[in-house]
Every structure is written in C-alpha cells, then in structure tokens.
C-alpha cells in the first residue's frame, strides 16, 4: 500500500534539486506562444549530488545534436546538470552542433562545478546555437535557488500553458519520496513522441535498472499513445533523474507515480494540441492481436478526417469505420461495433443512425472529453490511444510558426 499526494508547484518539491531560467534574448517577439507568460529561453535543472539518468529519445533518424552529445557519454554515466534552451533545436547541424554544446559546457564549468552535463533543445531546425547568448545565461542564473514555474515557462514553444506536476509518495513504513516533472509540447505530437521534452526528477532511492525499465513502460503508456498530427521531431526527449536523497523506495509505488505523472503530462500536451478543443480516447477492443489493436487505434487518433469530424462535432461514424478499414487490420463490418461513450452508434443490426441516437451522439460530441470504443469482434486484444480535434487554429499556428 502506498499513497500519492499531489503537490503545489513543480520541481522544487524534490530534495536536493535546483532549477530556474533566464532570458538571453533568443525570442525575437515579446510573446511567441499563445499566452504571454513566457519570460525565459534558457533553463537548467541541477542536483547537488550526482544523479542516475535514464532517457528515451525520438525515433527520428535525424536525431538532434544534444541527443548525439548525450549518447557520447558512457552507458550508465551519472550527471548533475541539465541545460535546456528554446527557439533553436540544434538539429541538422552536424558535428559543429555537438562541438557547440561542448563549448557551452566548457564555459559552464568555469562558473559552476558540473558532472557530465547534458543538454536539451527545442525550436527551429538547421541553425547553429547562438553560443554567446546561451553562455551569457550563466552570469544571470542563480544555480542555488529553485523556480520551477520559470523553468517550465522558459522551455515552451507553441505551448499555450506551462506543464508541471509533482507528487509526494508515502509508503506503508511512513517513509516517502518525491517525483516531479516539467514538460513542453503541443504540435507535432505523435506516437513516437514528437517535439516533446519532459524532465522528471525524483529523490526516491530507485535503482538504475528500475529507472530504465519503468521509464520505457511509462513512455509506452503515455506519450507514445497521443497524437496531434502524426509527425515526429528530431529532438523528442524524456529524461528521468534520481539523486536518491530520500532513502525511501518501493517499485510498485514508484512505477505508479511515474506512470501517473507521465500520463497526466501526456494528457496536458494533448489538451494543448495546437488549436485543439477536444480530447478523445480511441479504445479498440476485440482485435486479433495487440499490434492490430494499436494500428487501428493510432490510425483513428491520427486521421485528419476523424479529427475534422471531431472539430465539426459531426457524429459521422463512417469516418471511424473507414479509418479502421484503411488501417489494414483484419476486420469485418458484420462483427464491428462502435460506441461513443455508452451510446451504440454502429453495429451490423444498427447500421443507419436514427434521429434519436444521432441527437444523443451530438450531445456526446459536444463534450470536451469523450471516448470512442470500437470492438472489432474478432479477438481479445485491446489498445487505447488519445487524440484531439483539428481546428482552424492548427493550420494558422503551423502556417505562421517560425520566425
């Protein structure tokens, strides 16, 4: 038995960690996100003692320089410093991009004692980092205080709101540990975790092997199940750092807390899907195997026609059925059923939508959150992914985003 207590604020709840941000002038417009809360472009997370670190990176073949830089450290390395910048992805920058990070970290080490520092970047692809601007941050940052809000805001790009969460986990023996995270991401979100950065820190006494295992599981259950537009960025990163400053640990409790914090952040990212207004769970049951359940579910959360139907609040189940059929999985219109929440919307006996059910369907679709359940009727495998609608705003944001 264990209990999870949500905490106010974010990263500052975890013992022995410090974080903050500053503004070095990389944002050319006063506000380039949907709100005006962005007041920084370079952030840091530091631990006063060395941390184990586990990370999951993008599946994009053009991994950005900070990811390549991370991978140059020996397996199982420890670190006590993460530097994060917005506005420039340091992607497609070749060897020079990695050298730039090394140069920045070299300057950092003259100001602050750091162990194997790592970097994470988000922004436009194809430009060298402005090294002088970024290193100017080291004169402004106070590495011995914590301002999680500031850090969470500084890493935003097209995000409409900052994303941070923290929990205290109490075990049966009355010991407790903390876990907290900041996250950014709104557009380009896809099964392979696109343009999404997530930094999770904990003081739990978690073994490195558990960190690796549980981070992979939690990623599959959270960020890999959401889709805003099916694209995948060069920079996606989820990092988990533990400094073990609490002697408390229980694998089930830690796993539960990690899954919960990552799932909730994924839902916040989805809710912040560029211009999105609705959050829809696509549960596929009765598939022949999990691979097919996943394929159909992800096809639904990625489909432009489904997304625009959600935006139009059109209970047109034909687009749902057509998308399942187009996904290529084994299916049969005689065994398929489709529900919106608890409302049966399609089965072999009820193919046409009568006025009564159509009215009910309209009401369900007007909700901010609802579930589409598709039972393929041919097996036992299930998979749930999460999608959002596609609005005019999405096109506007992505047509205008860059400078």
By the criterion CB under 8 A, which residues form the site for a second copy?
A: 59-63, 89, 91-94, 124-128, 187-188, 190, 192, 194, 229-234, 303-305, 308-309, 311-312, 314, 316-319, 321-331, 333-334, 346, 348, 351-353, 390-392, 394-396, 398-402
Q: Is 272 helix (H, G, I), strand (E, B) or coil?
A: coil
Q: Is 10 helix (H, G, I), strand (E, B) or coil?
A: coil
Closer residue to a second copy (CB): 139 or 354: 354
DSSP 221-247: HTGGGEESSS---S--EEEEEE---S-
Tell which residue, 157, 192, 189, has the closest CA to residue 61.
192
Closer residue to a second copy (CB): 4 or 353: 353
Rounded to an integer, what distance in angstroms lies between the CA atom of residue 51 and that of residue 244? 8
Rounded to an integer, what distance in angstroms lies between the CA atom of residue 120 and that of residue 379? 43
Find the shortest distance in angstroms from Cβ 99 to a second copy: 13
Rounded to an integer, what distance in angstroms lies between the CA atom of residue 322 and that of residue 326? 6
Rounded to an integer, what distance in angstroms lies between the CA atom of residue 402 and that of residue 13? 35
CA dihedral 364, 366, 370, 373 (to 10 degrees): 50
Strand locations in 225-358 (E): 226-227, 237-242, 279-287, 337-340, 343-346
Backbone angles phi, psi at 359, to 5 degrees: -60, -45
Catalytic residue among 195, 202, 219, 373: 195
Rounded to an integer, what distance in angstroms lies between the CA atom of residue 179 and that of residue 202? 4
Q: What's the CA angle centered on 66, arms 191 and 179, to 5 degrees?
A: 65
Tell which residue, 125, 151, 149, has the closest CA to residue 9.
149
Rounded to an integer, what distance in angstroms lies between the CA atom of residue 135 and that of residue 375? 55
195 in active site: yes
Closer residue to a second copy (CB): 139 or 400: 400
CB distance 239 to 55 below 8 Å:
yes
Closer residue to a second copy (CB): 223 or 394: 394
Cα 64 off chain centre by: 17
Find the shortest distance in angstroms from Cβ 297 to a second copy: 15
Which pair of structure tokens corresponds to residue 350? 């009820």
Which pair of structure tokens corresponds to residue 234? 């060069």
Rounded to an integer, what distance in angstroms lies between the CA atom of residue 242 and that of residue 231? 31
Rounded to an integer, what distance in angstroms lies between the CA atom of residue 5 and that of residue 170? 8
Residues annotated as catalytic (active site), given as ranges: 195
């Amino acid at each position: 038995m264990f209990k999870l207590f949500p905490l106010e604020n974010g990263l500052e709840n975890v013992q022995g960690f410090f974080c903050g941000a500053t503004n070095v002038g990389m944002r050319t417009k006063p506000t380039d996100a949907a709100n005006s809360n962005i007041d920084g472009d370079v952030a840091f997370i530091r631990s006063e003692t060395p941390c184990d670190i586990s990370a999951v990176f993008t599946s994009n073949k053009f991994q950005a320089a900070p990811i390549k830089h991370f991978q140059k450290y020996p397996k199982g390395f420890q670190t006590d410093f993460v530097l994060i910048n917005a506005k420039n992805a340091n992607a497609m920058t070749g060897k020079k991009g990695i050298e730039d990070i090394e140069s920045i970290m070299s300057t950092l080490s003259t100001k602050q004692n750091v162990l194997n520092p790592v970097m994470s970047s988000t922004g436009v692809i194809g430009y060298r980092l402005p090294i002088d601007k970024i290193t100017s941050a080291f004169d402004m940052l106070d590495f011995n205080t914590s301002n999680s809000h500031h850090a969470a805001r500084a890493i935003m790009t097209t995000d409409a709101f900052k994303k941070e969460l923290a929990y205290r986990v109490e075990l049966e023996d009355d010991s407790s540990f903390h876990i907290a995270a900041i996250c950014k991401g709104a557009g380009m979100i896809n099964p392979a975790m696109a343009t999404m950065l997530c930094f999770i820190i904990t003081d739990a006494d978690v073994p490195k092997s558990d960190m690796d295992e549980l981070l992979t599981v939690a990623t599959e259950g959270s960020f890999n199940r959401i889709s805003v537009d099916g694209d995948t960025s060069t920079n996606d990163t989820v990092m988990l750092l533990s400094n073990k400053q609490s002697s408390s640990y229980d694998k089930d409790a830690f796993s539960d807390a990690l899954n919960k914090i990552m799932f909730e952040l994924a839902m916040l990212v989805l809710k912040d899907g560029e211009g999105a207004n609705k959050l829809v769970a696509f549960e596929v049951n009765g598939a022949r195997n999990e691979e097919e359940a996943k394929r159909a579910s992800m096809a639904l959360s990625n489909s432009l026609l489904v997304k625009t139907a959600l935006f139009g609040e059109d209970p047109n189940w034909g687009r749902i059925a057509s998308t399942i059929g187009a996904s290529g999985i084994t299916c049969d219109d005689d065994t398929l059923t489709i529900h919106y929440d608890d409302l049966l919307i399609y089965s072999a006996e009820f193919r046409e939508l009568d006025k009564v059910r159509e009215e009910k369907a309209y009401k369900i679709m007007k909700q901010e959150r609802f579930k589409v359940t598709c039972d393929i009727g041919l097996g036992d495998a299930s998979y749930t992914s999460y999608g959002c609608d596609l609005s005019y705003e999405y096109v506007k944001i992505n047509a205008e985003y860059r400078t």
